[in-house]
């Protein structure tokens, strides 16, 4: 089943493994960009590029403090992904509850057929 269009951006933003590393790092709290560069072992322009993508979907927020740029995770922007998976789980759970009922019918019919033989 296709994803809701409104969550596609957040999905794309977290589909890239480096960006997930950044999100993981930020899950522990606010971090200056230099910290992220060191931890990821990437060149600063690459880290900045990933941070820009994450900022565009609102997954991270940034603020300047003195000469430092500090990044922090914004869970609210990523919540649609979480919600989408949960909604998908509900859809299939409801579907399979119905399938349980169909299977009960089939089992009864099979037993009836066997006793006819």
Partner 1 sequence: MKATSSGTATVTLPADEQILITREFDAPKELVYKAFTTPELVRQWWHAKRGEMTVAEIDLRVGGKWRYVMVADGGTEVGFHGEYREIVPNERIVSTEIFEGYPDEEAVNTATFTEADGRTTLEILVQHSSKQARDMHIESGMEEGLQDALDLLEQVAVSLR
Residues within the interface to partner 1 (CB under 8 A) = 1-2, 11-12, 14-17, 20, 23-24, 27, 73, 75-76, 78-79, 81-82, 85, 88-89, 91-103, 106-107, 110
- As measured in angstroms, the least distance from the Cβ of 87 to partner 1 is 10
Q: Which of residues 63 and 109 has its CB atom nearest to partner 1 in the complex?
A: 109
Q: Which of residues 16 and 38 has its CB atom nearest to partner 1 in the complex?
A: 16
Helix orientation angle between 17-27 and 33-40, rounded to the nearest 10 degrees: 120
H-run or E-run covering 72: strand 68-73
Torsion angle defined by CA atoms of residues 20, 25, 28 and 30, in that order, rounded to the nearest 10 degrees: -110
């Amino acid at each position: 089943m296709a994803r809701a269009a409104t969550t596609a951006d957040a999905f794309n933003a977290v589909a890239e493994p480096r960006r997930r590393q950044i999100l993981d790092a930020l899950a522990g709290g606010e971090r200056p960009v230099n910290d992220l560069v060191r931890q990821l072992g990437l060149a600063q322009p690459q880290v900045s590029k990933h941070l820009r993508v994450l900022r565009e979907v609102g997954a991270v927020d940034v603020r300047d403090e003195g000469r430092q740029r500090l990044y922090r995770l914004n869970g609210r922007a990523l919540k649609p992904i979480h919600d989408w998976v949960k909604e998908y789980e509900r859809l299939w759970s409801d579907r399979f509850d119905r399938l349980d009922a169909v299977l009960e019918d089939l089992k009864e019919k099979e037993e009836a057929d066997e006793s006819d033989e």
